[in-house]
Structure 1
Amino acid sequence: MPAPFAVRRFLPLPTLSYGVGDLHTGAPAERDFGPHVDQTNYSVVVDEQVVVKWLTPPVPLPHPTPEIFAHLVDAGFTDTAPPYAALILATDTHEELLALVTGYLPEARDGWEWCVDEAAAGNADFAAEIGRLAADLHLALATLPSAGAAHTSAASRAEAALAEALELTGGEDGAWLATRAGRMRQELAPLQDDITSPRIRIHGDLHVGQILRWRDGYAVIDFDGNPTVTDAAPCQPAARDVAQLTTSLEHVAQVAIKRRGTEPAHAAAWAAKARAGLLAAYGRRLAERNRPDLLDERLIRPFEVEQECRELIYAARHLPRWSYAPMGVLRTWYQEENIT
């Protein structure tokens, strides 16, 4: 690779070599995913074998993904698109991450497609496999050495998210939310206690959209962190990821109601069943590996409440049409008969 570029390799690339007779197979050498795919960066599929994700714009190093890719390979975690390489621009003054190269997973669909199908069908059988996958990911990431950086108080961070959600949510939704703020603060209260569960390197943006169902199973992707949260510490309790994953199941239920005409009661029952199945499988896996200490179940609900606040903030600042999902979840949680 000519200067000023460099490549950091994680796994050997598949061969892309051809004989003379293979040059014109009829398949495009490169293609993108099309305009229907919502992505922050720009990805290109090469020869149906490799995906090159160009970061737009390039991101200064250090960046979490190369470090996590290298560690997951060392840890033997394979429930992800095979990480092949990172392309870096290195000058005398700085380094930037230009692109990430991973394996292409045939017939892959993200969770905003396949999981909505499951919700509409009322099928929650997948949840056990997703719970197992999330636990294996955390078991692998828990062995990643990390510096003991200072972290913001979980309680103050959650309270700030609630305050911002109340400020940004207007109209009828905002008025309704204000009447539930007291109950939401009660559910955030456990974060005021000392958090004793280990702080590990987490995914940081773990929702069903980051879990692909492909020809051979499931794979978690996108270790860039949450692009809408600038102050998130890389090391946090595993319950933070778990809560984002469980709330995303609730969001899937809301999508099924809005786009598939699923009855609200059926969608809520599906979300509850999927959530329970996921958490049970996650806990079993940690117990099998003698690491039940990784998850403090008391933190899940307060982190779920904070996550819904962050969804409202995201909707207000970036995607207003999304607000129906977190508001639908909150209206399910805090119905009149549940308010004291």
Structure 2
Amino acid sequence: MNSIWKRLLSLGEKSPTEQDRGVSAALVTALVDGVEVPPPFAVRRFSALPSLSYSAAEPDTGVPAERDFGSHVDQTNYSVIVAERVVVKWLTPPATMPHPAPEMLAHLAGAGFQDTAPPYAALTRVDGAGERLLALVTGYLPGARDGWEWCADEAEAGRTAFADALGRLAADLHLALSTFPPPSIAATAPAVTTDFGPAERAEGALAEALTLTDGEDGEWLAGRAGALRAELAPLAGPIATPLIRIHGDLHVGQILRWTGGYAVIDFDGNPTVTEAAPYQPAARDVAQLATSLEHVAQVAIKRRGTPPRQALGWAGEARELLLSAYRDRLAERGRPDLLDGSLLRPFEIEQECRELVYAARHLPRWRYAPMGVLRARYPEETP
């Protein structure tokens, strides 16, 4: 058995960490060389990996160099860059299959969607606990910067031209995802329901936010519970727009800016929402992406010292450019029906509630962002 598989077996239930130098490079080398994958491991390939051969100016040590992203990058999993060409994302802990990422990446590759890190392969392992996803192997995007960084720069500088590109990217993503097999014949059909209860889920998010948000913020939120609940009302009616496979956690933090433009990443689903239906209105993704611009404005205010009026004005302009570009792209492709604009506002309110729940459970310091957005939408004089 090749040494990489022995090393992975020796890890047992654990995922590689920064202490396991060489594992990622060995895995990529084995995949590039077409080494047979022994049980209990399996590899699902999406597209051909790039060659790891060295240029004439580079020394060939026989072992591709690897490095991690560093502690400054906020990530749930552990990612390693191999030979400055490939990224291996180790899921920590390994995720139970079926998992959304492999099938999403496979579909996007087949649909010719280019605005993402090139998907290469998924590594799984089958044992007594069933099949689990160990790692995803994708392309490395040179000069890539996290959306929370580059977009905060844009907010601080008052630049909004980027929003047009983001709107087109989101539309192209949804156009590609709209060609997924419908729920009735999809491979994940047993776990899919078109009756995803949007009103009930939104009400549940509001109830949790009211329960978990304490102090002055909690009092403010409780005072506007009626107004927030009224905003969610459109979700109780019939949903006429098509239900498509969505990203599920689409915000600016999932949009990298790199030397080749913009790329959407992370198709793992929303870790804070349990049993989220894969097929939902495109407006769900669009609402989350749009409201994340308002979160960036709050980041700029708090961390960059940007004047509130300037930051909020920037967010409003960027939001309108994003939505306009998104609609225009759908119209160009003959699919304006994918977006029901009447669902944007209620999904945005639900998203802010989910942000408050996330802050309460996982990241208390984040609460300022969704609270800042809600306070801006509901000024003090209109409780």
Equivalent of 1:43 in 74, 79, 96:
79
Task: Compute the displacement of 1:186 (Å).
Answer: 1.1
Compared CA separation, residues 320 and 19, structure 1 to 2 (3 A) = closer
2:349 is matched by which residue type in structure 1?
V
Q: Deviations over 1:12-36 (max 9, x none)?
A: 10111348984458x9800000001
Match status 1:261 vs 2:305: yes
Q: Deviations over 1:118-169 (max 9, x none)?
A: 0000011100000000000000000011424323311111111101100000
Match status 1:192 vs 2:228: no
Residue 28 of structure 2 is matched in structure 1 by none
The SS at the match of 1:336 is coil
Task: Compute the displacement of 1:93 (Å).
Answer: 6.4
Residue 257 of structure 2 is matched in structure 1 by 213
Equivalent of 2:45 in 9, 30, 51:
9
Matches of 1:21 and 1:77 in 2, distance apart? 34
Task: Compute the displacement of 1:92 (Å).
Answer: 7.1
Matches of 1:303 and 1:120 in 2, distance apart? 27
Which shows bigger deviation, 240-249 or 84-93?
84-93
The SS at the match of 1:133 is helix
Unaligned runs of 5+ in 2: 1-36, 185-191
Matches of 2:350 and 2:57 in 1, distance apart? 58
Match status 1:173 vs 2:211: no
Equivalent of 1:235 in 273, 279, 283:
279
Matches of 1:23 and 1:50 in 2, distance apart? 19
User: Would the aligned equivalents of 2:43 and 2:124 in 1 still touch at CA under 8 Å?
Assistant: yes
For residues 120-159 of structure 1, the aligned pairs below 5 Å read: 120-148=156-184, 149-150=192-193, 151-159=195-203
Q: What TM-score results when the alignment is normalised by the length of structure 1?
A: 0.96
1:96 is matched by which residue type in structure 2?
R
Task: Compute the displacement of 1:95 (Å).
Answer: 1.2
Equivalent of 1:183 in 227, 243, 247:
227
Matches of 2:69 and 2:197 in 1, distance apart? 40
1:128 is matched by which residue type in structure 2?
D
Q: How many residues are paired up?
A: 338
Residue 332 of structure 1 is matched in structure 2 by 376
Residue 285 of structure 1 is matched in structure 2 by 329
For residues 8-87 of structure 1, the aligned pairs below 5 Å read: 8-18=44-54, 22-23=58-59, 29-87=65-123
Task: Compute the displacement of 1:91 (Å).
Answer: 3.9
Q: What TM-score results when the alignment is normalised by the length of structure 2?
A: 0.86
For residues 280-319 of structure 1, the aligned pairs below 5 Å read: 280-319=324-363
Matches of 1:288 and 1:275 in 2, distance apart? 20
Compared CA separation, residues 338 and 277, structure 1 to 2 (3 A) = farther
Unaligned runs of 5+ in 1: none
Residue 19 of structure 2 is matched in structure 1 by none
RMSD over aligned Cα atoms: 1.6
1:114 is matched by which residue type in structure 2?
W
Task: Compute the displacement of 1:5 (Å).
Answer: 1.2
Equivalent of 2:366 in 317, 322, 325:
322
1:297 is matched by which residue type in structure 2?
G
Matches of 1:296 and 1:161 in 2, distance apart? 21
Task: Compute the displacement of 1:42 (Å).
Answer: 0.2
Matches of 1:291 and 1:21 in 2, distance apart? 49
Matches of 1:188 and 1:56 in 2, distance apart? 35
2:284 is matched by which residue type in structure 1?
R
Compared CA separation, residues 179 and 99, structure 1 to 2 (3 A) = same
Match status 1:249 vs 2:293: yes
Task: Compute the displacement of 1:231 (Å).
Answer: 2.3
Match status 1:116 vs 2:163: no
